[in-house]
Amino acid sequence: MQETSSGLQPPSQDINQPSGTKPFMDDKGDFFRRLFNTWLEATFYPNRFFRAMPTNAGIGAPFVYALITGIIGVVFAVGWNIVMEMLNINAFGMSNQESNKILCDMFGVNLITLWFISLVISPLLITIGLFVGSGIWHLCLMILGGNKKGFEATFRSMCYAQGPMVFDIIPMCGGIIGGVWSIVLVIIGLKETHQIPVWKAIVAYLLPLVCVCCLAIVAAIVVPLLIVGIAK
């Protein structure tokens, strides 16, 4: 043990030793253990997790985490869809066959092709969603004066908030539970990483939705008027 001016000091910890609470790729050790620990911490102890999360350790680690959890969610969602199709189970008032037929007619493909396409392009869609979503929400934070830690902090928060997508393992209701809980984690992540009041995090999250709703209302009023005007 080493002595300091304040007395005895315990032996220093190895900074490379896995802590169990750090974001999994920002630490060292077994990959799958770190992956599980990160999912557990970020999903069920978000305040503690995001408060301790580094905001300048790069975007690679959280991006990989979001891809893994997102793809797992898609695989289970598609898998349960197949099972429900085979058993013709009704979901939320509409038979699974009816809902699948609507999707097939919309995209002009058969069901098997639609499932295969959804699995293949899911990494691309997840990637686009992460970067576009992070950019939009960071812009909202800038408008509110809450972008204290920069875009990287927003992106990392967005990525680590994707853990609940794994809840698609639960048939029928898992996607809804995961989607709602993911929204909660995004808000907590923005609050803790940027060290802002919770109301700013909530407003930053809701602002794009409000803008979209306002645009939709304006379009619903203006477009019919334009059509009537052209018809005259």
Distance between alpha carbon 128 and the CA centroid of its chain, in Å? 12
Strands in the chain per DSSP E = 2-4, 7-9, 90-91, 94-95
Q: Report pLDDT digits (tens) over 101-132.
A: 666 666 565 667 777 777 888 899 999 999 99
What the block records as the tokens of 46 is: 């978000």
Q: Which ranges of 88-110 would DSSP assign to H, the alpha helix?
A: 96-107
Q: What is the pTM of this model?
A: 0.77
Instruction: Classify residue 124 as exposed, middle or buried by CB count within 10 Å of its CB (0-12, 13-18, 19+).
Output: exposed
pLDDT band at 8 (very low <50, low <70, confident <90, very high): very low
Q: Report pLDDT digits (tens) over 203-229.
A: 999 998 888 888 889 888 887 777 766
Nearest to 111 by CA among 122, 96, 121: 96
